[in-house]
C-alpha cells in the first residue's frame, strides 16, 4: 500500500446555479442521446481557483453530489470573474439529478441554489443519460 491511499480526495462545497444554454437547446432538438448533447449538458463550470483546489484538470471528470443525487460530469472553467464556491450547470438530466424534490410547498423546484460537494472522479466516466 502506498501512502497516497490513505489521503482523502479533496472535496469542495459549492452552490450550483442552473441556466439555459441556446447551443445545448439546439442540439437537444436533434436528440438527447447524441455525443454533442452529452458534451454540452454533462458539464459543471467552476471558478479556476476551485478547480485547482480539487487537483483536477480542466476537461477532467468530477463527482457532484448532495442528498438528492450524484452525477459524474466534465469540469470547465466558467470564464466569469472570480466566484469561488459558485458553479454553473446547464439545465439537463445531470443538474436535475441534484435538485431537491422538496419544493417548500411552492410546487416549483429550486434550480438556482443547489448545495453540493465536488471531488475528483479521475478515471471515471460521465454518468450515462440512460442512468436517469
Q: How much is the pLDDT for 11?
A: 93
Q: How much is the pLDDT for 105?
A: 87
Q: How much is the pLDDT for 88?
A: 97
C-alpha to C-alpha distance for 128 and 132, rounded to whole angstroms = 8
Cα–chain-centroid distance for residue 11? 13
C-alpha to C-alpha distance for 99 and 15, rounded to whole angstroms = 12
Tens digit of pLDDT at every position of the chain (132 positions): 555 555 667 899 999 999 988 888 788 777 788 889 899 999 999 999 999 999 899 999 999 999 999 999 999 999 888 899 999 999 999 999 999 988 888 888 888 899 999 999 998 999 999 888
Domain spanning 10-122, CATH class: mainly beta
For the chain, state the CA radius of gyration: 15
Taking Cα atoms as reference points, which of 57, 58, 25, 59 lies closest to residue 41? Answer: 25
Sequence spans of domains, the chain = 10-122
Q: How much is the pLDDT for 2?
A: 58
Amino acid at each position: 500500500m502506498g501512502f497516497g491511499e490513505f489521503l482523502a480526495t479533496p472535496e469542495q462545497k459549492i452552490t450550483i446555479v442552473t441556466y439555459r444554454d441556446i447551443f445545448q437547446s439546439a442540439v437537444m432538438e436533434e436528440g438527447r442521446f447524441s455525443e454533442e448533447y452529452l458534451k454540452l449538458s454533462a458539464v459543471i463550470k467552476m471558478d479556476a481557483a476551485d478547480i485547482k483546489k480539487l487537483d483536477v484538470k480542466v476537461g477532467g471528470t468530477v463527482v457532484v453530489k448532495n442528498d438528492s443525487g450524484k452525477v459524474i460530469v466534465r469540469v470547465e472553467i466558467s470564464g466569469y470573474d472570480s466566484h469561488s464556491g459558485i458553479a454553473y450547470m446547464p439545465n439537463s438530466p445531470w443538474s436535475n439529478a441534484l435538485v431537491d424534490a422538496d419544493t417548500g410547498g411552492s410546487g416549483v423546484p429550486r434550480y438556482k441554489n443547489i448545495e453540493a460537494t465536488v471531488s475528483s472522479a479521475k478515471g471515471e466516466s460521465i454518468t450515462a443519460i440512460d442512468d436517469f
